[in-house]
Structure 1
């Protein structure tokens, strides 16, 4: 997906039923996603990804796997977040499952703590869908409930 020159950098946000989604975009890549209480005054509401998020929140299945993200995270977290990115729409997996998918030992406490740290520090929730993991994440609990409800169709 190529957002185009008008939307390849900046802060974009929109209010949707149930939450506000804010995107930070640089060089056409999503560098940050947050869920503030209100739309920031300096945010632009016009971005194609916000349109897709709106459709997703209205029940349209979207894996967002074509969205370019810039993961500026420690090397030890990269494979974990890439594994999370591959969890299919509508599924929920355990921290141990993510550890295995990332090539870590799901019985090693240090590896499990590394997975949990990567989830908590996820800079681009929704596009790295930590709401699909039963464990800590960067997505606020009320947004996790909303996203899981959307994906389950209830």
Structure 2
């Protein structure tokens, strides 16, 4: 990505609906699944191509995608750990909680759940790999992404 990538980009991706990304200073700051593409969105962007390939079944962990997180520190720690869950693998909230530095109790599971639900860039930070956690994605899309990742 270069500096000209700053903006809002969106594309309809078949059964998955519209994927909308926001980019600032060459970093992804948001990803959402709106009902319709926003009027101000540009349709073409290499990251949308990359996401489209993943939704078609190609494996990609999006490790090369720069992300700018503007979230509370404890949420950042959770989401950074989620990014380390390997493609095709899953975890649960309790296990994830124990692996995040500074979190380890059942009470801390609330912090993990809040971070997953507020994930500003789902798919790129794969909260769908947390099987019993809330999702920032529309109902069923997290399950569909897990299915795609577990397919040979």
Could you say whether these structures have the same fold, taking a TM-score greater than 0.5 normalized by the shorter chain as the test?
A: yes
Following superposition, the deviation at residue 51 of structure 1 comes to 0.7
In structure 2, the residue corresponding to 1:112 is in which secondary structure? Answer: helix
Choose which of 106, 116, 121 in structure 1 pairs with 2:118.
121
Say which is worse superposed, 115-124 or 134-143, in terms of deviation.
134-143
Aligned residue for 1:14? 11
SS in 1 for 2:48: helix
Deviation at 1:127, TM superposition (A): 0.9
CA distance in 2, matches of 1:4, 1:105: 36
Q: List structure 1 runs of 4+ shifted beyond 4 angstroms.
A: none
Count, aligned residues: 150
Give the alignment's Cα RMSD to 1 decimal: 1.5
Shift of residue 104, structure 1, vs aligned partner? 4.3
Distance 2:118 2:103 in 1: 20
How far apart, CA to CA, are the structure 1 residues paired with 2:9 and 2:100? 31
Aligned-residue offset at 1:120: 0.8
Unaligned runs of 5+ in 1: none
Gaps of at least 5 residues in structure 2 are none
**SS of the counterpart of 2:20?**
strand
TM-score by length of 2: 0.92
TM-score in terms of structure 1 length? 0.91
Equivalent position SS for 1:115: helix
Q: CA deviation at 1:109?
A: 2.6
